[in-house]
Amino acid sequence: MMEKLLGKTPDELKRAALEAGLPPFAGKQLARWLYVRKARGFDEMTDISKEGRESLKRMYLVGTEAPSSVSESSDGTRKYLFGVSCDRNGRTEESAIEAVMIPDEDRKTLCVSSQAGCRMGCLFCMTGRQGFHGNLSVADILNQFVSVDESDSLTNAVFMGMGEPLDNWDNISRALEVLTAPWGFAWSPKRITLSTIGVLPNLKKFLDTSRCHLAVSLHNPFPGEREAMMPVQKAWPAEEVVRLVRKYDFSGQRRVSFEYTMFSGINDDKVHADALYRLLRGLECRVNLIRFHKIPDSPYEPSPAPVMQRFMERLNNHGITCTIRASRGEDIEAACGLLAGKHKDRL
Ligand code: SF4
C-alpha cells in the first residue's frame, strides 16, 4: 500500500520530496498544502512543478478520504462515516469509523475517533460491544479534521469518539503534534480535550508531553462496582489514575474533568456522590454527569432526571463543580456511547 503524506512532519516531508526527485524546500510546500490549505489531491499543489506532482503521485497518497455518508440530527449535530484500513497485528482490516460535529452557539466541536472499535470492553458502550478492528493511522485521525464539511470553521476537538485514544498512543501523539505545531494546523492545545478511561502508562506520557485538556471516564467511585462495568479497572484502578492526575497542575489554563455516565440504581446513589467527592477532594476539576443512552440488550437503564439533579447538587454542596452535560445527536445515534461505525451488515 502506498504511504500517506498526511501526518508527516516537515523533516519527513522533506525526505519524501527528495525521494520523489523534488528540491528540499518542497517539504515546506507540502506541509503548507497539507495542513494550512488542506489540499485533497496533488493537482491542487500548483506551486510544485507538474513533473514533481506526477512523481509524488506515483509514490505517495495525500491521505485524505471523503466521508462515505453524513447524517444530520434535528439539533444540528452531524455524524460522518469514514471507511478506514486499519493495521491489526500486521494485517490490514477494512472497517468504518465515525466523527461527530457538534454545533453550540459560536462553537463547532469535532468528536474524533481514534480506533475502529475498541478493546476495552466497557459494558455500556456500543463501540466496545463491536470488538476491536484496529488502530487508526495518523492520516485517518487527521482526515476527520480535514474532510468534514466544517473543516475550516471547527473551534474545538474532543477525542471522545470510537476507541480509547491512549490505546493508540503513538498515532494519537503524532496527531496532537500536527494539530498544535506552528507548521501544522497551529491549534492551541486549549482547543483540544483527550478523553480516556485511564491507560496509566500512556496517560503519564500524555500529561508529560502535551498541554491539551484531559477528561477521565470514571463512572463509579467504588473499585468493585467500577470493575463490573469497566474491565480496565483491574489493570489500572481509578484511584491510581486520580493519584497520577494529582501530580500535574490543573489550576491554570489546562483543565481536567471527570465523566460520569449515570445508570439507574447502579451508580446514582448519594453514597456514590459522597465517595466521588472523597476520591476527588482537593483536586482542581469538574465532574460532567452524562445521561445514559440505552443500547440494545443492555441491563443498564438511564437515571431519571431528578436523580441526576440531586446527584449534581450533592457534589456541588461538597464544593465540587458538577454539571449535567446536554445530550446531542441522539436521533442519529451520535450521542455518547452510541458510535458504532455502522456499515454494511455490521452492528
Ligand atoms: Fe472503549 Fe470508550 Fe467504549 Fe470503553 S467507553 S469500550 S474505552 S470506546
CATH of domain 3-61: 1.10.150.530
> Contact, 77 vs 332, CB < 8 A?
yes
The pLDDT assigned to 344 comes to 35
Task: Report the residue among 197, 259, 295, 300 best suited for mutation to probe ligand 1: largest number of ligand atoms under 8 A from its CB.
Answer: 197
The DSSP string of 269-315 is SHHHHHHHHHHHTT---EEEEEE----TT-S--BPPHHHHHHHHHHH
The 10 Å Cβ neighbour count of residue 182 is 6
Q: Has domain 69-346 been given CATH number 3.40.50.720? A: no
Q: Are strands 321-325 and 286-291 parallel, antiparallel or unpaired?
A: parallel
Our answer to whether residue 164 is catalytic in this structure is no
> Contact, 142 vs 38, CB < 8 A?
no
The pLDDT assigned to 335 comes to 65
Nearest to 312 by CA among 265, 347, 260: 260
Phi, psi of 343 (to 5 degrees): -155, 160
Please report the sign of the dihedral spanned by the C-alpha atoms of residue 267, residue 269, residue 273, residue 278.
negative
Atom of ligand 1 minimally distant from the CA of 163:
8
In the block, which residue shows the cell 496532537?
Answer: 176
The pLDDT assigned to 329 comes to 76
Q: Find out whether the beta carbon of 118 lies less than 6 Å from any atom of ligand 1.
A: yes
DSSP H or E segment with residue 178: helix 169-180
pLDDT in tens, the chain (347 residues): 789 999 999 999 999 999 999 999 999 999 999 999 999 999 999 999 999 999 999 999 999 999 999 999 999 999 999 999 887 777 888 899 999 999 999 999 999 999 999 999 999 888 888 899 999 999 999 999 999 999 999 999 999 999 999 999 999 999 999 999 999 999 999 999 999 999 999 999 999 999 999 999 999 999 999 999 999 999 999 999 999 999 999 999 999 999 999 999 999 999 999 999 999 999 999 999 999 988 888 889 999 999 999 999 999 999 999 999 887 777 777 666 666 665 433 32
> Could you tell me the residue ranges of all domains in the chain?
3-61, 69-346
The pLDDT assigned to 89 comes to 76
The pLDDT assigned to 78 comes to 96
- Distance set, CA 200 to CA 9, 125, 205 (Å): 27, 21, 9
Q: Find out whether the beta carbon of 276 lies less than 6 Å from any atom of ligand 1.
A: no
The pLDDT assigned to 341 comes to 63
Our answer to whether residue 336 is catalytic in this structure is yes
Q: What is the largest CA-CA distance in the chain?
A: 69
